[in-house]
Amino acid sequence: MYKKIALSVVLITSSLLASSLVDDAKKAGLVAIPSSKAALMKLIDNPKNPITGKKVELGKKLYFDPRLSKSGFISCNSCHNLSEGGDDGISAAIGHKWTANPHHLNSPTVYNAVFFSSQFWDGRDAHLEAQAQGPIQAAPEMSATPEHVVAVVTSMPQYVKDFKDAYGKDVKITFEKVADTIATFERVLVTPSAYDDFLNGKKNALTKEQKAGLKTFIDKGCVTCHTGIAVGGEMNAFNVTGTYKFQEVGDFRGNKDGLVKVPTLRNITQTAPYFHNGQFWELKDAIKEMGRIQLGTTITDKEASEIEAFLKSLEGRKKTIVLPQLPSSTALTPKSDIN
């Protein structure tokens, strides 16, 4: 009898603590990915470029097609590998002719990028449709011209048919339309996690250690920058209370106001190395450095371990992506150019 009462008290107390932690998280600005498909679609859809199944499938083909690049070797997936964290796992992105990013910037993850208010490290584009145009044309990345991209796509009857099926028979295949279609595919790359389940009311979705880590994450002030549905993705000041240990690696200093896009913490355990120039490989070390330069506080080993435990709850559930079979090149398809 007493054991049953004691167990009930423990369960009630645990439930109350979980509810309190959820309330604290929401007050701190943390937002869950909705569990409702309809609610999620409202968040990720673009009224000017509505998501449809045919657009998504066509966008996936284009995302994986290296022929859009000048060399015929680099695809969007080269730097944003969907088999792991949606990035490339190296300190500085490598592009055309094995060129490292001239500013020593690494590739941010494409997973959940639909939730970012700013795209690129300097936040120069607000949405995925605009962002998708950049890397294709950038000399150190895919190094293609809009004319090359249109020539590639329109040279293949299957791609022309796919565009008509997706947009209607009168569609004009333009570079912007190609980028918009890739962006449509990227918009559905959303990875809900145990963290979202917890905020959505599933009190046992997080382990005891992860709940403790979430509390530390809030109490230490990490939510000052890593907030919202993306747990990041906004522009913010950098080197607030100290100077980043590897500030001189590369010449990136943020946008014209010195602001830098806050990386999402979703799937952060799969997107090392960390920081804009990829100089930290261990998550715990990156957590401590953030405390020093952004919060003006010392994060102990214990606190860093707690926060790291919480961050593991942000490992999302990824949909299985079947590698698309791409249309065959024709005599009209531009040849690869590695120069």
Q: Is 255 exposed, middle or buried (0-12, 13-18, 19+ CB in 10 A)?
A: middle
Q: What is the pLDDT of residue 17?
A: 62
Tens-place pLDDT, residues 125-153: 999 999 999 999 999 999 999 999 999 99
Q: Please compute the mean of the pLDDT values over residues 117-131 and round it to a whole number.
A: 96
Q: What is the pLDDT of residue 8?
A: 46
Task: Tell the residue number behind the tokens 């015929």, with chain if given.
Answer: 72
Residues 6+ apart with CB under 8 A from 127: 46, 119, 183
Q: Is the pLDDT of residue 1 over 80?
A: no
Tens-place pLDDT, residues 3-34: 555 444 444 445 556 789 999 999 999 999 99
Q: What is the pLDDT of residue 159?
A: 98
Q: What is the pLDDT of residue 3?
A: 54
Q: Please compute the mean of the pLDDT values over residues 33-48 and round it to a whole number.
A: 97
Q: What is the pLDDT of residue 2?
A: 53
Q: Is the pLDDT of residue 43 over 70?
A: yes
User: Percent of the chain, pLDDT > 90?
Assistant: 94
Q: What is the pLDDT of residue 61?
A: 98
Q: Is the pLDDT of residue 297 over 90?
A: yes
Q: Mean pLDDT across the chain, nearest whole number?
A: 95
Smallest Cα–Cα separation from 131: which of 37, 202, 46?
Answer: 46
The HSE-up count of residue 118 (CA atoms within 13 Å, CB side) is 17
Q: What is the pLDDT of residue 19?
A: 85
Q: Please compute the mean of the pLDDT values over residues 72-85 and round it to a whole number.
A: 97
Q: Please compute the mean of the pLDDT values over residues 156-170 and round it to a whole number.
A: 98
Q: Please compute the mean of the pLDDT values over residues 289-298 and round it to a whole number.
A: 98
Q: Domains of the chain by range and CATH?
A: 25-40+191-314 (1.10.760.10), 44-187 (1.10.760.10)
Known active-site residue 308? no
Ranges assigned E (strand) in 220-300: 235-237, 259-261
Say which DSSP state 83 is in. T
Q: Is the pLDDT of residue 172 over 50?
A: yes
Identify the active-site residue in 129, 141, 186, 303. Answer: 141
User: CB neighbours (10 Å) of residue 20?
Assistant: 11
Q: Is the pLDDT of residue 50 over 70?
A: yes
